[in-house]
């Protein structure tokens, strides 16, 4: 009889699983065999369920990123126009991913494990695939520790090749002169998190890939919106350790790509549940939410393809119109989750309009934004409709 862990084994990608993306997207590792069928895009390979381990390269471990001259300085330094140096400190102190492994030992995780007949969540492949980087023993460096949770290399790629050279000032800039995203991956094992499609795909690999029986056992529910998650749901207890580009409508693009990727992930989740004979009603409801967002993305930004949206022209006028259309959907939002996804979306589009004119987010924004989120949490449809409209009106 199969154990619970058999439903979700730890995923180690073969070379054939890493495929090509067009243009600026990450692409395949070279197969080296003539006549071999093209491999799927890397975004497909990273789509889950769970985090994916790149083949053959060594994962060096979080401690190799620390040190006052590396990423655990007391304060950041301006290096090639970027404030760098304290990322590890922020991650360890204020990033929810740092607690992902420890959370497997809390009371809720123990209850879930007991209900699913999992003896110990801290060693179960089914749990580790999203609560830490599930690297096989042969690919673990001397300082790698599974207890380091969702750490540096989970998002940036195994450090074996780039760990030393990337410490040179301006290294990334020089590499970008000759390497595209494929080159970064092939040459250095670096996953280019500046690519929003890849970033969103890695997020949804866990946050929109949760088995139905886990939810029935008490696991927190499926929910995802890229702008909200990129800002750690605006929880004052959390901080992100990176900076996003300024003046480039980034938050609008983040929302648009996030909606498209989330729709793909939600459909994959629905199909997985259906194949296992589980009730798909919740997954179908999530699909309908993202379909509404993607329709607005398509209408105003000209595409619903994540890679194309990475490069699409997004102007304040387009973002403002999209914000108003998205806010108008509040009239039909009947669940807190639907309202929350809409609130983050309108917030992202309005924030991009502020950024485009060089303005900081002000009290008007935060008052309307948090009013919308509060109304969503309370399931107050009337208050949510009003606050979403007030927020969208700030997109000028």
Is the CB of residue 233 less than 8 Å from the CB of residue 377? no
Structure pTM? 0.86
Q: For 143-199, how does the pLDDT look when each residue is reduced to its tens digit (9 = 90+)?
A: 999 999 999 999 999 999 999 999 888 888 899 888 877 788 889 999 888 889 989
Higher per-residue pLDDT: 149 or 11:
149
Average pLDDT over residues 78-101: 85
Average pLDDT over residues 295-312: 95
* Paired tokens of 353: 């309009």
- Residue 124 CA to residue 245 CA, distance in Å, equals 39
- Please give the DSSP secondary-structure letter assigned to residue 295: H
Strands 82-84 and 77-79: antiparallel
- Please give the DSSP secondary-structure letter assigned to residue 50: S
Residue 59: strand, helix, or coil: strand
Average pLDDT over residues 28-50: 44
Q: What's the Cα-to-Cα distance from 359 to each of 320, 348, 396, rounded to whole Å?
A: 15, 14, 11
**Torsion angles phi and psi, residue 79, rounded to 5:** -120, 110
pLDDT above 60 (res 9): no
pLDDT grade for 80, boundaries at 50, 70 and 90: low
Mean pLDDT of the chain: 86
């Amino acid at each position: 009889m199969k154990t619970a862990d058999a439903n979700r084994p730890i995923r180690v990608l073969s070379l054939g699983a890493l495929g090509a993306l067009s243009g600026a997207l990450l692409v395949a590792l070279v197969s080296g065999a003539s006549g071999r069928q093209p491999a799927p895009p890397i975004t497909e390979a990273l789509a889950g369920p769970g985090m994916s381990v790149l083949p053959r390269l060594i994962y060096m471990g979080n401690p190799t990123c620390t040190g006052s001259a590396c990423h655990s300085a007391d304060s950041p330094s301006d290096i090639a126009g970027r404030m760098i140096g304290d990322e590890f400190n922020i991650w360890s102190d204020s990033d929810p991913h740092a607690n992902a492994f420890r959370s497997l030992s809390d009371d809720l995780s123990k209850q879930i494990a007991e209900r699913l007949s999992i003896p110990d969540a801290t060693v179960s492949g089914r749990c580790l695939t999203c609560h830490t980087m599930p690297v096989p023993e042969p690919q673990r460096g001397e300082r790698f520790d599974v207890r380091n949770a969702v750490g540096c290399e989970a998002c940036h790629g195994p450090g074996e090749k780039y760990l030393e050279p990337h410490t040179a000032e301006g290294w990334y800039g020089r590499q970008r002169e000759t390497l595209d995203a494929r080159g970064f991956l092939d040459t250095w094992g670096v996953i280019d998190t500046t690519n929003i499609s890849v970033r969103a795909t890695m997020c949804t690999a866990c946050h929109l890939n949760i088995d139905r029986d886990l939810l029935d056992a008490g696991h927190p529910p499926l929910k995802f919106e890229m702008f909200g998650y990129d800002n750690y749901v605006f929880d004052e207890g959390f901080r992100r350790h990176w900076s996003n580009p300024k003046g480039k409508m980034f938050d609008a693009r983040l929302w648009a790509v996030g909606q498209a990727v989330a729709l793909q992930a939600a459909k994959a989740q629905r199909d997985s549940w259906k194949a296992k004979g589980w009730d798909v009603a919740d997954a179908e409801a999530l699909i309908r939410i993202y379909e509404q967002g993607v329709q607005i993305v398509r209408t105003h930004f000209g595409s619903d393809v994540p890679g194309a949206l990475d490069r699409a022209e997004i102007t304040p006028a387009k973002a403002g119109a999209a914000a108003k259309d998205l806010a108008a959907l509040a009239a039909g939002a009947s669940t807190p989750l639907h309202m929350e996804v809409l609130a983050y979306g309108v917030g992202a589009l309005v924030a991009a309009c502020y950024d485009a004119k060089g303005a900081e987010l002000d009290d008007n924004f935060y008052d309307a934004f948090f009013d919308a989120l509060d109304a969503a949490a309370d399931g107050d449809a009337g208050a949510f409709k009003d606050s979403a409209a007030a927020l969208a009106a700030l997109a000028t």
